[in-house]
Amino acid sequence: MANVLYINSSVRSSGSLSRQLSAEFIAKWQAANPSDTIVERDLAANPVPHLTEQMMGAFFTPAEQRNAEQAFVVKTSDTLVAELQAADVVVIGAPMYNFSVSSGLKAWIDHVARAGVTFKYGENGPVGLLTGKKVIVFTASGGVYSAGPGAAFDHLATYLRAVLGFLGMTDVQFVQAEGVAMGEQAVADTLAKSRSAIDELVAV
């Protein structure tokens, strides 16, 4: 039995391919693994706050030394970290907005990337503490950025792979729906490719 953390970051409640494909994956995963626990966090429906000076101060204050205000402002981050720590599998719906992640997903990352909690600095540099997790990221973009001239503009997959790896999550796979603004045939082709990838991932 596994714990699955399912994160959606598209601001669109309908018409979002990252939502659609990640939801299809979760449905097939549940069918294949009925005893697994699914924890869903929708960063659009329930956005997490962007970092403030007060939050940063609370993060870097030892728990036993925090005042009442600091203890309060760190609660959201503690909850998000606990969800991530408990997860065996992490599924992220991450559409490309202006070549990178949505501001909601960036805010989530800022809350879970905490020195001494999800990573630490050792004698040889930073060490990720969130190891042993499988991560599957569903992206969607109007253009093609996995190869060709657009690859230089891909700050979505490159960023997520870097920051997740920094936290110790190195088993990361991407299912990329690309070219969705390039006509109906392009959408049909990328959906077929993505669904084939979903079937392969669930079958593993």
21 is in an annotated binding site: no
124 is in an annotated binding site: no
Query: Do the beta carbons of residue 110 and residue 148 sit within 8 Å?
Result: no
96 is in an annotated binding site: yes
10 is in an annotated binding site: yes
35 is in an annotated binding site: no
Find the CATH number of the domain harbouring 51: 3.40.50.360
Q: Please give the pLDDT value at position 204.
A: 77
Give 177's contacts (C-beta < 8 A, 6+ positions apart): 17, 18, 21, 138, 139, 140, 141, 190, 191, 194
Mean pLDDT of 169-177: 98
Q: Tens digits of per-residue pLDDT, 85-137?
A: 999 999 999 999 999 999 999 999 999 999 999 999 989 999 999 999 999 99
Please list the residues that pair with 128 across neighbouring strands: 119
Whole-angstrom distance, CA of residue 120 vs CA of residue 125: 8
Whole-angstrom distance, CA of residue 16 vs CA of residue 136: 17
Q: Tens digits of per-residue pLDDT, 35-91?
A: 999 999 999 999 999 999 999 999 999 999 999 999 999 999 999 999 999 999 999
Mean pLDDT of 159-175: 98
Q: Please give the pLDDT value at position 68.
A: 95
* Tally of domains within the chain: 1
Q: Whole domain around residue 193: which residue ranges?
A: 3-203
Given a cut of 90, whether residue 13 has pLDDT beyond it is no
Q: Please give the pLDDT value at position 160.
A: 98
Mean pLDDT of 179-184: 94
18 is in an annotated binding site: yes
